[in-house]
Structure 1
Amino acid sequence: MLSRTLILGALLLAVVIFHAEAYVPRIIRGRPKGGFVGIPDTQSAQNGNDPTPPPDQWFEQKQDHFDGINLLTWKQRFFSNGSFYKKGGPMFVQIGGEGEANPIWMMEGAWVDYAKKYNAYCFLLEHRFYGKSHPTPDMSVNNLRYLSSEQALSDLATFITAVRKELGGPKVIVFGGSYPGSLAAWFRMKYPHIAHGAVASSAPLLAKINFFEYMEVVDSALRTFDASGTCNNAVAQATQGVQELMSTYKGRRQLKSLFQLCDDLDPNSKKDISNFYSTIAGNFEGVVQYNKDNRAFEGAVGTNITIDTLCGIMTDTSKGSPTERYAAVNSLMLKTYSQKCQDFKYDKMIDEMRQTQWNSSAAEGGRQWTYQTCTEFAFYQSSDSKKQPFGHGFGIQFWLDQCSDIFGPEVNVTLIQQRVERSNEDYGALGIRISRVVFPNGSIDPWHALGVLKDLGPDAKAIFINGTAHCANMYPPTAQDLPALVAARTEIETSIGQWLAD
């Protein structure tokens, strides 16, 4: 049992008030609403496990770990599950990321299977500034200076040290997927005396301003539908058709009807046009990134829509011209996410992302993650590559401008470049020196282009999983899992056992 001074168990009621005119894209900078791993539905099937999730618990943290004069503290949310624990077992810590943490992960997922095997005590620590973990009264630019991966790693170190002491000093294995996967690797590197090993799933370790490779992987993923590229060719033809319609007033009216746009297209508003092109390409980006990844256990929306679904539409000539089929994909996504029309107005998006209140729709994570990309990692999925079928309507400048438009002119290209270089210098990028870590990545996942794909050493192994998507190895196994995915989970489990034996 953990002490009452450590666990301040309490349930909070959180009411998220969405503005009537709120507009935050479904997927922005590769991040869907809810975070890279999504917001689970705690009422979903539990595969025979106890359906009652563990309650919110709270740990007191410093607001700033690097300023000795700042004595302010705040309460960070975490969850725990000791039902698998036996004396002498390890401590497993799942690292929260750029979305609300959810206790369903304390009962489901591959890491729970590992916890059962190795008798681990499980913890999930929510990332500062996300979910209910609020270090400041709001998300003003002045307050967001406390939001960084470095502060998050220090939060982890403080939390794990305290809990580990109460458990008698067990070995600690950290887990994370996507950005938290990067945090897992960085934590193992920076705090090897605390973390004994790390599972860094789908972890982008290379900070990069122009992440044009993202769209190249989307192109490659679509070719898994048809190696001859029929789907890709249809998308390219559709993009050309959209561009032609965009050039005339009549054509723009037709686009508004076809894509069920909320507003008229103004050819003089370059950022609106770029946002439109980015949005309709985003319909494919999100599906590719999470293709067949078994998120259904979370209650995730749209898990039945796959690459096969979209390419089936794009290659079905009975559904009209390529442009009409492209619009049909958009209509499917609008219906799936219960949207009446397709937003694309740049200023409307920026205005929403400027909201600083915790009850705004931007507080779901969009504002915070955008800030982290502007001040640490960039990761901007531009259309600048020629090796993709979505045209070149959302180039790198479109993404860079958003930083200064949202957070002020001081967050400019020069600052972004400096911060990206600093991140790579601080964490080692793809040349990180590390041991007792595995790096699972899926071939379908666009983020693998920034991840570790070859072994860094005898005890720092890359696990490249052909045919799988973002963080697929983290989800509960199913009978439909590819053999490569089954093998990857087994390799991870074996590696953990070897680390614990060391």
Structure 2
Amino acid sequence: MKLSSASVRLAALLLLAVIVVASGKSIDKIRRLPPGIERMFTRKDGIRPPKGYVSQSPRTVEGRFTSRVNHFDPQNRDTFEFNYLHNDQYYRQGGPLFIVVGGHYPVNPYFMENSHFRDVAALEGAWLATNEHRYFGESYPTEDLSTENLRFMRTEQVLFDLIEWIDFLKREVMGDPNARVILHGVGYGGSLATWARQRFPNIIDGAWGSSAPVRATTNFEEFAVEVGNIIRERGSDQCYNRIFQAFHTAENLIDAGRTEMISEMFNTCDPVDTDNPLEVELFFFAMMFSLEAAMVEDYDIENIGRVCDALTDDEFGTGLEALSAFLLDRYADTRECFDLSFENFIRYLTDVDINAPANVEFGLRQAGYQDCTEFGYFEMTTSPDQPFGTKVTYDLFLAECQAAYGDWLSKDVVYEGVRLTNFHFGATDPRITNVLYTNGELDPLRAVSITEYTNLLANARVTPGAFIGQDIQSISGMDSEELLETKHMAEQYITTWLGSPISPFRK
């Protein structure tokens, strides 16, 4: 079973920073944190396109669209260009426009060429297209990523980029200003798709959001809870208990001042400074996501069972011994020690260069700005119903937001940004028609998505046994009966939104 880690996740700034250190670019080996954590950053984007994917269709064409830097200031006439791709391979005269909404990554043709949405487009005779999100890839409205320039990194600006581009495609590319429009996205792209339908029902005829986080929250404690449930489901209760024991033992040792034991067991570059609460929180957050990254490597959920086999090996007498041995072995080739310096860690978040590897590859600073000002999704360990201890709190994420973007980001400002996002888009009660929300039962993003919804030509479905983004893949003989039902549901709703089907080959 394939999965993403969620971004939302699909995250939070700490996660984002760990990503950069994990990537190993322009960073000495001795100062690297474990690799693979970028998988966790992509939680809000669901499944990302495969790295290095090159278009397989000669009909996929590149384009550039000119958009306003600020859609809401008539006195500001500044413009920028963003990338897009389109493909008319399946188009039949009078057919609709199918859009794969881009997220926090450079534009990529993968989902336009390889997905269930593509298959439905072929049946409907649709023109396919996908866009590049502002501030990603080669689509920058400003010369750098200073806090001042990031003020245009707002969901409302992104939606107007999308809508004005769609109007251009219909008129200038398709030559059909009356073409119907269906949006689709996974993770954050799915959120944008459903929000666009909500805001522009006269332009968007329907939207399918897969694993779409729509409820912003400062405390995304459900993420750790859901991961714990997945460990029980796909690993074992014994594995869950081992992890629980390891994290709580480490907490007790640190609280008792036994930091030398922790530093030795986990090979930290410097002793854990118990007088620095941010460093303590960083240690536990890094341990949690290092473990989770190993479990979801290559989006393969079967890795959970393999990791659990290692953690429950009889060779180790305690959970802490098992966890430290596993992480040391797992990341031995990529780091010589574990760097827990908050100052070193935060400097990668403060790089305003649009060409910095962390910003190019992972969108570190630009996506982090949205977390701090609009979405939150700070993955804390405040719930008792998860195995990763209790040390990761709001203090760490607030400190990161302030260090990266300025002290103006007070607790009240962050809370207000999250509140307004939910107020503007309705969170889990958007009162929207012609929309479908799909989630996997084993998807941590499910907690901030919509799992039950009834409105006119609208629905929500949770697929038993599925993880994030499985429902967007083409129908396969490997699909479970439940997953097949979800894919058929998506096709049926899209067909209904469009009215009478164009294709004479529909079953």
TM-score (norm 1): 0.86
Counterpart of 2:156 (choices 150, 160, 175) is 150
How far residue 34 of structure 1 moved from its aligned partner, in angstroms, is: 11
Asked whether 1:190 is paired with 2:186, we answer no
CA deviation map 1:188-228 (0-9, x unaligned): 0001111100001111111111111111111211110356x
CA distance 1:302–1:440, change in 2 (3 Å): closer
Q: Distance in 2 between matches of 1:55 and 1:333?
A: 41
- Cα–Cα, structure 1 residues 226 and 23, in superposed 2: closer, same or farther, change >3 Å? closer
Q: Which residue of 1 aligns with 2:341?
A: 345
Aligned to 1:200: 209
CA distance in 2: counterparts of 1:429 and 1:413, whole angstroms: 21
Give the superposition deviation at 1:80.
Answer: 1.2
- The equivalent residue for 2:250 is 242
Q: Give me the whole-angstrom Cα distance separating, in 2, the residues matched to 1:343 and 1:141.
A: 27
Query: Are the structure 2 counterparts of residues 483 and 256 from structure 1 closer, same or farther at C-alpha, using a change threshold of 3 Å?
Result: farther
Q: Which has the higher contact order (CA 8 A, sep 6+)?
A: 2
Any idea what the Cα deviations from partners look like across 1:156-214, whole Å, max 9, x if unmatched? 01100111123202110001111111111110000111110000111111111111111
- Report the AA paired with residue 340 of structure 2: F
**Given the alignment, which residue of 470, 479, 491 partners 2:468?**
470
2: CA distance, partners of 1:92 / 1:103 = 13
Aligned to 2:354: 358
Cα-to-partner distance string for 1:327-369 (whole Å, 9 max, x where unaligned): 2442465369x45544433221211100000121331311111
* 463-472 or 60-69, larger mean C-alpha shift: 463-472
Residue 402 of structure 2 is matched in structure 1 by: 404
For residues 108-147 of structure 1, what are the structure 2 equivalents within 5 Å?
Answer: 108-147=114-153
Would you say the 8 A contact 1:30–1:381 is kept in 2? no
**Segment drifting more, 148-157 vs 480-489:** 480-489
Alignment match of 2:314 (pick from 290, 310, 317): 317
Moved more, 60-69 or 25-34: 25-34
Report the equivalent of 1:220.
229
In structure 1, give the amino acid aligned to 2:215: L
Deviations 1:431-487 (Å, cap 9, x if unpaired)? Answer: 101111110011111111111111232422111012222222123454433332222
Q: What is the count of residue pairs matched by the alignment?
A: 470
Q: 2:304 aligns with which of 300, 304, 307?
A: 307
Matches within 5 A, 1:35-434: 36-43=46-53, 50=57, 54=60, 56-166=62-172, 167=174, 168=176, 169-225=178-234, 229-246=237-254, 252-286=259-293, 301=298, 303=300, 306-331=303-328, 333-334=330-331, 338-339=334-335, 341-363=337-359, 364-434=362-432
Equivalent position to 1:446, from 444, 447, 470: 444
Q: Distance in 1 between matches of 2:443 and 2:269?
A: 31
1:141 is paired with a residue whose SS is coil
Between the aligned partners of 1:35 and 1:447, the Cα distance in structure 2 is: 10
Q: CA deviation at 1:98?
A: 1.5
Whole-Å separation in 2 of the counterparts to 1:29 and 1:424: 26
Return closer, same or farther for 1:319/1:24 CA change in 2, 3 Å cut-off.
closer
- Structure 2 segments unaligned to the other structure (5+ residues): 1-22, 501-507
1:3 aligned partner: none
Q: Structure 2: how far apart are the matches of 1:420 and 1:34?
A: 15
The Cα shift of 1:18 comes to 3.9
Q: Is the 8 A contact 2:45 2:187 kept in 1?
A: no
Q: Is the 8 A contact 2:53 2:108 kept in 1?
A: no
Residues 24-45 of structure 1: CA deviation (Å, up to 9, x unaligned): 885479524995433523458x
Aligned residue for 1:209, secondary structure, equals: strand
After superposition, the C-alpha distances for 1:79-111 in whole angstroms (9 at most, x for unaligned) are 111111111211111111122222222321221
Asked if 1 retains the 8 angstrom alpha-carbon contact of 2:234 and 2:302, the reply is no
Residues 430 and 35 of structure 1, relative CA distance in 2, 3 Å threshold: closer
Change (3 A) 1:113 1:42: farther
Give yes or no for contact 2:61–2:87 (8 Å, CA) kept in 1: no
In the aligned structure 1, how far is the partner of 2:335 from the partner of 2:145?
A: 27
SS of the residue 1:415 aligns to: helix
Task: Give, in angstroms, the shift of residue 319 of structure 1.
Answer: 4.4
Selected match of 1:489 from 469, 487, 490: 487
CA–CA separation in structure 1 for the residues paired with 2:484 and 2:364: 33
Q: Which residue is 2:6 aligned to?
A: none
Q: Distance in 2 between matches of 1:223 and 1:33?
A: 20
RMSD: 2.7
Q: CA deviation at 1:317?
A: 2.2
- What are structure 1's unaligned runs of at least 5 residues? 1-15, 292-299
1:266 aligned counterpart, secondary structure = coil
Kept in 1: contact 2:59–2:89 (CA 8 A): no
Distance 2:437 2:332 in 1: 36
- Judge conservation of contact 1:60–1:73 (CA < 8 Å) in 2: yes
**Does the Cα contact within 8 Å between 1:59 and 1:77 map onto a contact in 2?**
yes
SS of 1:353 mapped into structure 2: coil
SS in 2 for 1:74: strand
Rate the CA distance shift 1:114–1:283 in 2: closer, same or farther, 3 A. farther
What displacement does 1:303 show? 3.7
Q: Which residue of 1 aligns with 2:18?
A: none
Q: 1:100·1:130 contact (CA, 8 Å) conserved in 2?
A: yes
Q: Does 1:499 align with 2:497?
A: yes
Contact 2:224 2:380 (8 Å CA) reproduced: yes
Specify the SS of the correspondent of 2:347.
helix
In 1, the alpha carbon distance for the partners of 2:320 and 2:192 equals: 41
Match of 2:26 in 1: 19
The CA deviation string for residues 284-317 of structure 1, in whole angstroms up to 9 with x for no partner, is 44466xx5xxxxxxxx846476221222222222
Q: Structure 1 residues 284 and 453, CA, compared in 2 at 3 Å: closer, same or farther? A: farther
What is the CA–CA distance in structure 2 between the aligned matches of 1:387 and 1:131, rounded to whole Å?
39
Pairwise CA distance, 1:238: 1.0
Bigger mean CA offset, 136-145 vs 107-116:
107-116
Q: 1:55 to 1:331 in 2, by over 3 A?
A: farther
Structure 1 runs of 4+ aligned residues shifted over 6 Å read: 22-25
Q: Percent same amino acid at aligned positions?
A: 27
CA distance in 2, matches of 1:127, 1:346: 30
Asked if structure 1 preserves the Cα contact closer than 8 Å seen for 2:99 and 2:183, the reply is: yes
